[in-house]
Structure 1
Amino acid sequence: MTQVTQDQDLPSWLKLSDEGVTVTLKYKTLISGVLTDKLMMRAPSVMDWRASKVAGNGDYEKQELSLFSSLLGLTEAELLSLKYKDYQRLSAGYFRLVEEDDV
C-alpha cells in the first residue's frame, strides 16, 4: 500500500492508504460479536455517495450514517453504538479520504 500523505501529518490513531483509512478507536467496541479497537473505512465511490443521499432523503445526518455504515461494513446500530469521540475520529478519517492531496 502506498501512503497518500506523510505519517507525521496524521494523528497517531489514523493510518491512510490508497484503499482507505484505518482508525484506532479510543474505546473498544463490540462489532459482530467481536471486541475491536480498529475500524477500516474504504474510500467512497460516487455510487456510495448517491446511495447515501437517497437513503438520507434530505436529512444530512441520515445520509452520513448511511454512507459511513456502507464504507465501514457496519450496521447503523453498530455505528450508533460507538462513543462520540470515536465517531469523530471516523469523520476525520473520511474527510482525509475525500480531500484533495495537494490542498
Structure 2
Amino acid sequence: MKTLPAWLTLTADAATIQLARAAAMNGMRVDRLTLRYPTVGDVRAAEKQAPSDQAERELILFASLAGVGPRDLEGLSMRDYRRVQEGYFRLDAADDDQPVAVAPGLSPAGD
C-alpha cells in the first residue's frame, strides 16, 4: 500500500489537505482544506458549467467539494493546488493500492 504524504488525511468520506501556506477561503484564513467525497451529481454539475474546459471543470468540482468559491482555489499557490488535486485523486481512487490517474468526468480528450 502506498504511504500517504504527511499533509494528507483520508477518511471514507473526505480528504483533508494541510496547505503549505495559509490561504483565504470564504473570507477567512485557513491552513487546511477538506474535500468531501464527490457524487455523480457533483461531477455532472461541473461538466455542465464548463463542458469544454477541463481545467475549469476541475476547479468548479474541487470548489464544490470543499465548500468554497472557485476564485478562492485560484488564489492557492500551485504547490497547494497540486496537493488538492492529489487529495482528490487519492479520495476518488478505486483501491488504495491502485491510485487513479484521472478522475471520472475529468479524463483527457480521447478517453
TM-score normalised according to structure 1 size: 0.88
For residues 46-102 of structure 1, give each alpha carbon's deviation from its aligned partner in whole angstroms, at most 9, with x where no partner exists. 110111111112110111011011001111111101111000000000000111125
Matched, 1:88 2:82: yes
Q: Verify the 8 A CA contact 2:49 2:57 in the aligned structure 1.
A: yes
- Pair 1:61 & 2:52 matched: no
Task: Work out the CA distance in 1 between the residues paired with 2:25 and 2:90.
Answer: 24
Native 8 Å contact 2:63 2:69 kept in 1: yes
1:47 aligns with 2:17: no
Q: State the SS of the aligned residue for 2:6.
A: coil
Aligned length: 97
**Residues in 1 aligned to 2:28 and 2:92: alpha-carbon distance in whole angstroms:** 29
RMSD between aligned alpha carbons? 1.4
Identity of aligned residues (%): 37
CA shift for structure 1 position 12: 0.2
Shift of 1:33: 2.6
Q: 1:33 aligns with which of 22, 27, 39?
A: 27
Q: Is the 8 A contact 2:26 2:69 kept in 1?
A: no
Task: Give 1 or 2: higher helix fraction.
Answer: 1
**Structure 2 residue identity aligned to 1:53:** E
Q: Which runs of 4+ in 1 moved over 4 A?
A: none
- 2:84 aligned counterpart, secondary structure: helix
Alpha-carbon distance between aligned partners in 2 of 1:30 and 1:16, rounded to the nearest angstrom: 23
Q: Which runs of 5+ in 2 are unaligned?
A: 99-111
